[in-house]
Amino acid sequence: MSLDKLSNPDLLTDLWIGGKAVPASEGGRFDVLDPATGQVLTTVADGSVEDALAAVDAADGAAAAWAATSPRERAEILRRAWELMTEQAEDLAKLVTLENGKALVDAKGEVAYAAEFFRWYSEEAVRAVGQLMTAPSGANKIMVLQQPVGICVLVTPWNFPAAMATRKIGPALAAGCTVVLKPASDTPLTALAMARILDEAGVPAGVVNVLPARRSGAVVSAMLHDPRVRKLSFTGSTEVGRVLLKEAADQVINCSMELGGNAPFLVFADADLDAAVEGAMVAKMRNGGEACTAANRFYVEGSIAEEFGRRLAERMQALHMGPGLDDGVQLGPLVNPDAVDKVDELVRGAVDAGAEAVVGGRRPADEKYSAGFYYEPTVLLGVEPGSPILDEEIFGPVAPIVTFDDEDVAIRLANASEFGLVSYVYTGDLARGLRVSEALDSGMVGLNRGLVSDPAAPFGGTKQSGIGREGGHDGMLDYLESKYIAVDW
């Protein structure tokens, strides 16, 4: 596959700073690979610390005017960005597939979801509501204003290169903030395409800046130590999140962190088994399993575990794997060779410890997959509680199944993780479903649903899965500061 698959292959591949494309200050560029073939798609400018500070300069120069822009005008620009994304959805989806690897059907879903953040926050931009009340003592009035937090550094991952960008840019712009987006090095092309769309939508120069860079640590650190930067929003691993929180502490920067997940998927014996398997396919296989919301640990009541595992294995084995742009493909490659190595190591460890791979469990043997970064859809039965594969995100098409025989045990196993992003529960008993949902230590729960993400809902986790919420009205509040004014009249 190559960029000639796009109707307009003339992509932005330089940095986007101050409303224009500019080369990297040191002249460097890096390769962007097609995960389906391992071949180079194109090269992208490799931003430096100097470029990062130039992007902050641009954001600073645009900040006052953008904050003073009327909420309605900001809203109309975001609405236009949604319209443009919708018009260009086919090309954007193909671009996501080319640099990320996911099947085109997944990429189309992502682009539609990503565009909705622009539409949602076009509607929220006019709802930064303050407050006015009389102090309990009666001595004065309490007036609370909502004001933009300031310049924001946004750091996004490779697994949803469109949606993770819009989920941050949308509320930031709605709130009146200017931003510097640092996209993942595996998938910078989609982020740069977002910059072009926002420019066409009418975003003023300097309000949105996009900085691809291989030296992620150095460029992000430089921005976090610039006193003009007031906000960090990061989506990525908990390990990197901890490092960035320490960096942000030096300047006491406001932080929103959407970190790792290790989602449990609980199936009780009274569940509709067909619905549970269907939900498992969505929760596990969306984006080929490369999602922080992916079901990572399956806890199934003992009396139905074998039947559930058999049905899930049949569905997984039937998936058509191949290059994401090929007709009928449902599962594309993983994003890079390291991702394949990690998944293979986790699966081999589980099998060596006694689990049975009832389907998959290996890299594909077929020669046609040899050039790309593929891993077979895998279902593991007989996984013991405490197995290493249950302790970390798999980030691949692998479903380990553990049995339980008691509701309290299921809850305890589900909560036995440092992560708490999302959980899934399938049961035919509504009281049990609500009781278990309340007991699960996670920021989100899918009750008889395999999909929870929605631009109108607050997305985020507990424990080491993060701080703050993205999406919904809460998502814009993360980019606003409350200012209290004591008033007499």
DSSP secondary structure, 79-115, as one string: HHHHHHHHHTHHHHHHHHHHHH---HHHHHHHHHHHH
What value does the mean pLDDT of the chain take?
Answer: 97
Token output for 1 = 């596959």
> Checking DSSP bridges between strand 462-463 and strand 229-235, what pairing results, if any?
unpaired
* CA–centroid distance for 132 within its chain: 36
DSSP secondary structure, 421-443, as one string: SEEEEE-S-HHHHHHHHHHS-SS
For residue 166, pLDDT over 60 is answered with: yes
Which of 41, 159, 43, 185 lies closest to 102 in space, CA to CA? 159
For residue 86, pLDDT over 60 is answered with: yes
Within 8 A by CB and 6+ apart from 178, the residues are 59, 60, 62, 63, 66, 151, 152, 172, 206, 207, 208, 209
Q: Compute how many other C-beta atoms are within 10 angstroms of the C-beta atom of residue 237.
A: 16
Region 69-95 average pLDDT: 98
* pLDDT (tens digit per residue) in 443-463: 999 999 999 999 999 999 999
Q: Is 345 in the active site?
A: no
Indicate the pLDDT class of residue 12, thresholds 50, 70 and 90.
very high
DSSP-derived 3-state class of residue 380 = strand
Catalytic residue among 116, 247, 258, 393: 258
Determine the pLDDT at residue 2: 67
Question: 437-443, long-range: CB within 8 Å, 24+ apart, which pairs?
Answer: 439/411, 439/415, 440/264, 440/411, 440/414, 440/415, 441/415, 442/263, 443/469
Token output for 283 = 């929760």
For residue 219, pLDDT over 60 is answered with: yes
Distances (CA, A) of 322 to 103, 369, 392: 8, 7, 26
Rounded CA separation 441/416 (Å): 9
Please report the sign of the dihedral spanned by the C-alpha atoms of residue 416, residue 422, residue 425, residue 431: positive
Determine the pLDDT at residue 9: 76
The values of phi and psi at residue 24, to 5°, are -65, 145
Please report the sign of the dihedral spanned by the C-alpha atoms of residue 189, residue 193, residue 198, residue 203: positive
pTM of the predicted model as reported, rounded to 2 decimal places: 0.96
DSSP-derived 3-state class of residue 210 = strand
Chain position carrying tokens 């953040």: 117
Region 279-308 average pLDDT: 97
Rounded CA separation 258/374 (Å): 27
The values of phi and psi at residue 70, to 5°, are -65, 145
Catalytic residue among 152, 177, 255, 292: 292
User: ∠ at Cα 230 (224, 231), nearest 5°?
Assistant: 80
For residue 7, pLDDT over 80 is answered with: no
* pLDDT (tens digit per residue) in 104-141: 999 999 999 999 999 999 999 999 999 999 999 999 99
Q: Is 292 in the active site?
A: yes
